[in-house]
């Protein structure tokens, strides 16, 4: 195993040498942080990996993107890949992931075949980002249920996210039907967002969430906190941001027709089965 900075050109070149296919999953995630650091990892890092692949003669490049590259705060209900990129973003993560996706897809050529996958809210055994953040916020009393009508959201169980990448690699060839394209990946099982959150928290013995806040108040608080945290150059993440407020108050689920047709992708794990597997894993792991 080689561990290195994805923006380190020499290290990346060593990592891809002799490879037939490269899965580029490295990224700086989160909802807060300096734009320069997000660009260094997400954009420059993608450029470094692409350059290394081209120099080494790697012919297949599977890029892990995110549905957030097309999110603009409005409800996205059953949308497909024809949805355009928004004109602006409220967080550096989606902004730089969009730049990286454009960079990757733009590199698709007669020298290298590129496909981008957009798995939504990956969770399951081994998750070191989504569930830990939820649990940490809930235990600290920093997570509130939003009032208003329920919004449907889809997620991606880890096994299906991994399998989608393997399916894409198997079908990816220079000039193939999937080269140069992006695909939404999820379970195809949109559920009310706060039901998802409560049930995920329950696997870790936390919750349910009872306190509520109006979405507009949360958005206003996020706007104010972003100004304060920026003015005082705070290193910590605000309890709420505009981007997070929009994510928690809007629907986002996707039409998987293209992934089913072109990749042969079919979700294999229901949300209930995924919860059972996650609960069993947490117990075995002693968490």
Q: From the first residue on, what is the mean pLDDT of each consecutive set of 10 residues in the chain (287 residues)?
A: 92 96 96 96 98 98 98 97 97 98 98 98 93 91 92 98 98 98 98 97 92 96 97 91 97 98 97 96 79
pLDDT at 8: 96
- The answer to the question of residue 166 being in a domain is yes
pLDDT at 285: 74
- The answer to the question of residue 197 being in a domain is yes
* pLDDT tens sequence across 4-48: 999 999 999 999 999 999 999 999 999 999 999 999 999 999 999
The catalytic residue among 38, 93, 157, 265 is: 93
Q: Pick the closest to residue 29 from 83, 77, 92 (CA basis).
A: 92
From residue 60, give the alpha-carbon distance in Å to each of 9, 25, 209.
19, 14, 44
- The answer to the question of residue 235 being in a domain is yes
Strand pairing report for 181-185 and 145-146: unpaired
- The answer to the question of residue 172 being in a domain is yes
Three-state DSSP class for 183?
strand
Three-state DSSP class for 25?
coil
CATH number for the domain including 193? Answer: 3.40.50.720
**What span, in angstroms and rounded, lies between the C-alpha atoms of 13 and 32?**
30
Q: Does the active-site annotation cover 219?
A: no
pLDDT at 286: 59
Contacts of 28 (CB under 8 A, 6+ apart): 37, 38, 41, 42, 93, 96
Number of domains in the chain: 1
- The answer to the question of residue 1 being in a domain is no
Dihedral, CA atoms, 39, 41, 44, 50, nearest 10 degrees? Answer: -140
- The answer to the question of residue 34 being in a domain is yes
Angle at 26 between CA 20 and CA 32, to 5 degrees: 165
- The answer to the question of residue 241 being in a domain is yes
pLDDT at 287: 59
- The answer to the question of residue 287 being in a domain is no
Rounded to 5 degrees, φ, ψ at 37 are -75, -40
Instruction: Give the range of the structural domain holding residue 251, as residue numbers without chain letter.
Output: 9-282
Query: Residues 148, 214: contact at Cβ < 8 Å?
Result: yes
């Amino acid at each position: 195993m080689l561990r290195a900075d994805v923006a380190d050109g020499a290290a990346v070149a060593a990592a891809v040498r002799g490879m037939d296919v490269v899965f580029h999953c490295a990224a700086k995630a989160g909802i807060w942080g300096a734009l320069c650091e997000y660009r260094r990892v997400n954009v420059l890092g993608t450029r470094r990996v692409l350059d290394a692949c081209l120099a080494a003669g790697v012919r297949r490049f599977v890029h892990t993107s995110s549905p957030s590259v097309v999110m603009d705060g409005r409800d996205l209900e059953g949308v497909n890949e024809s949805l355009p990129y928004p004109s602006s973003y409220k967080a550096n993560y989606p902004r730089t992931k969009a730049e990286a996706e454009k960079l990757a897809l733009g590199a698709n050529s007669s020298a290298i075949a590129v496909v981008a996958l957009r798995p939504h809210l990956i969770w399951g055994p081994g998750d070191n980002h989504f569930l830990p953040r939820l649990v940490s916020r809930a235990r600290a009393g920093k997570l509130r249920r939003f009032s208003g009508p329920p919004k449907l959201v889809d997620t991606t169980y880890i096994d299906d996210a991994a399998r989608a990448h393997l399916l894409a690699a198997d079908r990816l060839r220079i000039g193939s039907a999937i080269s140069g394209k992006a695909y939404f990946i999820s379970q195809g099982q949109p559920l009310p967002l706060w039901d998802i959150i409560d049930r995920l928290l329950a696997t870790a013995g936390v919750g349910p969430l009872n306190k509520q806040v109006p979405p507009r108040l949360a958005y206003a608080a996020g706007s104010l906190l972003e100004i304060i945290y920026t003015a005082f150059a705070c290193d910590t993440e605000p309890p709420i941001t505009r981007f997070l407020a929009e994510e928690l108050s809007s629907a986002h689920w996707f039409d998987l027709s293209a992934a089913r047709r072109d990749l042969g992708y079919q979700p294999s794990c229901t949300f209930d089965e995924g919860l059972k597997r996650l609960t069993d894993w947490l117990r075995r792991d002693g968490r």
